[in-house]
Amino acid sequence: MIEGSFSLNMWERFIKEGILEESRLNKRIIESWYRCRSEEVNPNLKVGQHVLNQEQLEKQRRKNSFLIHAALPYMNKIEKFIQETSMVSLLIDAQGYILSMNGAQHVLEKAREINFTEGSCWTEKEVGTNAIGTALQNKEAMMVTGAEHYAKASHEWSCSSAVIRGGAGEVLGVFNISCPAEYAHQSMIVTATSAAYMIEKAQIHLKREEEIALLHNTMEWMESERPLIVCTNNGNVVGASKGVREKMGNWAEMSKASLLNEGYDVQFEVPVFSKNRLTAIGYIAYLTPKRYKNREDSFFVSAPFIFNGAKSVSKAFQHTLTEAKCAAPTEASVYLSGETGAGKEMVAKAIHENSGRKKGPFIALNCGALPKNLLESELFGYEEGAFTGAKRGGYKGKFQQASGGTLFLDEIGDLPFMMQIALLRVLQERIVTPLGSEEEKPIDVRIITATHQDLKALVEQGKFREDLYYRLHIYPVHVPSLRSRKEDIPHLVQYFCERYKWHVTLSPLFFKKLAHYDWPGNIRELFNILHRVKIVEEAKGEGVENILDNILLDSLSSSSEREEKELPSLSFREEIQKEKMKTALQETNGNITLAAKLINVPRSTFYRRLQKYNLH
């Protein structure tokens, strides 16, 4: 027998005066007692107040048939132990109704005296503080013994409960072990927690079996030209007719709601029943095309696509935004290709901000910027003490940080092969296991990936898994280089000036110089150069054109002389070199040695360029 933290005298004093010596007591019990007092729960209740009749109980069981189906095998397995230890085991739904109850006959009879039976509701609001109701309230395991119960009805009982969760972390119900207080033991909470865990595992297994059965039972509809989808009871799309598959290549990655956003309405739904249990395991949704018209009643109208970057007038980038707009409202994995610095992360953010996940977080990780030994903990997280140097309290990985939102994995081509296997498992099962933990944590994230490499070539070279490639490459979007969209440069400069509050007048010559440059570093290089021009202009007051000339010349100084000679006419860089040499010769009255020093060029190089530019 174990003692609760409350004596009967303490309970009586609280009921009469509302006073508790809180420092000595269980925090969760104290919180519950104050809730019960606030809700005006009757502490003198001697029986449960709300009990379903048989018809109502059967209806409640039908609503929770999946939970019952997952739990009963385990309840039957431990029934002998429960009977021998003078206990009862109970399965309770998320509303607090007892769905099933097994155990020792004399304990079941004692339980009936207080209406602690199948069909009774055992929430806090109904019967005050108790292991079932308080576990549901706090969404955590609870043990309540003797006078810790708020209502007299349960003072002679000890009860332990653990919450049962679904695949998305939602509360499905509670597993409870109860007995008369004289038989109570600390192992009760352990047994209840273990049982809840086993039931959670069983319902995941059953869910997979039901999805397979759902597909098997609807196979004949799959080749239909009529638009229809097969959905699980929670709206996940597991099958689609030929007509839908041909129109929506990424249907398998979409939820029902996302698919309906793509231009369909539900005409009607037909339930699909399990052959083992007389319950619906899903449904077929028959679709009809959605018709939208504008004020002239003739054109399709969709929500505007919001892009928080610079305005674009180039056809190349407008095409990118059109593709991003198509991908945004879906749940499809998007793959962004393009050179380094081209703005792939801005496009990824735009997709997120125009999606149904826009209120969730946008988390970005550069897979090529971290050592291999840190990538796993960064992506999946770790428990406290998982390794030397682990943070106290552990660390939530990027997958958990991005829950409810979008995870952007940049430079996915640099992902080590073993990490590719781990990522594939996460994408397939939608669970992560932090380092140092055995607990699988469900995730709800959309994945957007990007790389400057040719991912298909990496697959052919055996450096990237083909199955992972097809998981990520569902909706590819190309982000063009800056040199292929130079007409956007003025808008990018304007965006930079507004963002960094740079109040400067820029001449047409300044933009002409920018347009002549090839931009191997793309937008990132453009912004870096603009930052340097801004810093020098504000610090020294020099003209922006001269500053830009110096910076661009410096950026081009790594080019080989061989490349210069092969050019049929002078490039923009060569024009700058020539002009600087002419100015230096004028300022030094033709002294080649002083002129070379003035522009910081070796004399031998200066002589060679004199001949090249015909300045001698």
For residue 547, being part of any structural domain is answered with yes
pLDDT greater at residue 495 or residue 588: 495
* End-to-end CA separation in angstroms for the chain: 107
Which of 203-217, 263-277, 451-465 is the least confident region? 263-277
**Domains identified in the chain, total number:** 4
The residues, ordered by sequence, that sit 6+ positions from 52 with a Cβ below 8 Å of its Cβ are: 60, 97, 119, 120, 121
Domain span at residue 417 reads: 315-480
The domain that holds 63 is classified in CATH as: 3.30.450.40
For residue 372, being part of any structural domain is answered with yes
- Can you give the pLDDT at residue 555? 67
Indicate whether 41 and 125 sit together in one domain: yes
For residue 540, what is the DSSP state? Answer: H
Indicate whether 188 and 253 sit together in one domain: no
For residue 458, being part of any structural domain is answered with yes
> Is 173's pLDDT higher than 90?
yes
Q: How confident is the model at residue 4 (pLDDT cuts 50, 70, 90)?
A: low
Which of 81-95, 346-360, 381-395, 457-471 is the least confident region? 381-395
> Is 544's pLDDT higher than 50?
yes
Q: Exposed, middle or buried by CB within 10 Å (0-12, 13-18, 19+), for 503?
A: exposed
What does the pLDDT average to over 596-612? 79
- Can you give the pLDDT at residue 294? 41
Encode pLDDT of 263-309 as tens digits. 788 876 777 766 565 567 888 888 877 754 343 333 333 456 777 77
- Can you give the pLDDT at residue 288? 79
Helix (H, G, I), strand (E, B) or coil at 292: coil
Q: How confident is the model at residue 138 (pLDDT cuts 50, 70, 90)?
A: very high
Indicate whether 490 and 471 sit together in one domain: no
- Can you give the pLDDT at residue 561? 42
For residue 299, being part of any structural domain is answered with no
pLDDT greater at residue 584 or residue 124: 124
Indicate whether 331 and 440 sit together in one domain: yes
- Can you give the pLDDT at residue 342? 92
- Can you give the pLDDT at residue 23? 63
Encode pLDDT of 335-351 as tens digits. 999 999 999 999 999 99
Encode pLDDT of 315-373 as tens digits. 889 889 988 988 888 888 899 999 999 999 999 999 999 998 999 999 999 998 888 77
- Can you give the pLDDT at residue 560? 37
Question: For residues 341-353, b (16+ Cβ closer than 10 Å) or e, as one string?
Answer: bbbbbebbbbbbb
Indicate whether 229 and 198 sit together in one domain: no
Q: Token match 């959309």: residue?
A: 446
- Can you give the pLDDT at residue 566? 42
Indicate whether 502 and 463 sit together in one domain: no
Q: How confident is the model at residue 565 (pLDDT cuts 50, 70, 90)?
A: very low
What distance in Å separates the CA atoms of residue 222 and residue 228, rounded to the nearest whole number? 9
Quickly count: other Cβ atoms within 10 Å of residue 233's Cβ: 16
Q: Token match 């598959």: residue?
A: 245
Q: Are 278 and 292 in contact (CB under 8 A)?
A: no
Q: Which of 465, 480, 495 is the last residue of a domain?
A: 480
> Is 589's pLDDT higher than 90?
no
What distance in Å separates the CA atoms of residue 385 and residue 343, rounded to the nearest whole number? 39
Indicate whether 361 and 474 sit together in one domain: yes
Indicate whether 520 and 448 sit together in one domain: no
Indicate whether 356 and 368 sit together in one domain: yes
- Can you give the pLDDT at residue 575? 73
For residue 308, being part of any structural domain is answered with no
What does the pLDDT average to over 571-591? 76
The domain that holds 254 is classified in CATH as: 3.30.450.20
Q: How confident is the model at residue 475 (pLDDT cuts 50, 70, 90)?
A: confident
Q: Are 335 and 253 in contact (CB under 8 A)?
A: no
Q: Using a cut of 0.85, tell me whether the model's pTM lies above it.
A: no
Q: Which of 165, 189, 208 is the last residue of a domain?
A: 208
Indicate whether 490 and 603 sit together in one domain: yes
For residue 303, being part of any structural domain is answered with no
Q: Which of 149, 175, 208 is the last residue of a domain?
A: 208
What distance in Å separates the CA atoms of residue 504 and residue 60, rounded to the nearest whole number? 71
For residue 432, what is the DSSP state? Answer: E
What distance in Å separates the CA atoms of residue 274 and residue 269, rounded to the nearest whole number? 16
The residues, ordered by sequence, that sit 6+ positions from 316 with a Cβ below 8 Å of its Cβ are: 480, 484, 485
For residue 213, being part of any structural domain is answered with no
> Is 108's pLDDT higher than 90?
yes
Nearest Cα to Cα of residue 292 among 281, 284, 300: 300
The domain that holds 391 is classified in CATH as: 3.40.50.300
Which of 27-31, 252-256, 462-466 is the least confident region? 252-256
For residue 394, being part of any structural domain is answered with yes
Whole-number Cα distances in Å, 118 to 52, 83, 127: 8, 17, 15
Indicate whether 60 and 187 sit together in one domain: yes
Q: How confident is the model at residue 439 (pLDDT cuts 50, 70, 90)?
A: confident
What distance in Å separates the CA atoms of residue 75 and residue 68, rounded to the nearest whole number? 10
What does the pLDDT average to over 150-169? 91
pLDDT over 70 for what percent of the chain? 91
Indicate whether 135 and 159 sit together in one domain: yes
Q: Token match 């609503």: residue?
A: 63
Whole-number Cα distances in Å, 614 to 2, 554, 560, 581, 608: 102, 23, 20, 11, 10
> Is 602's pLDDT higher than 90?
no
pLDDT over 90 for what percent of the chain? 36
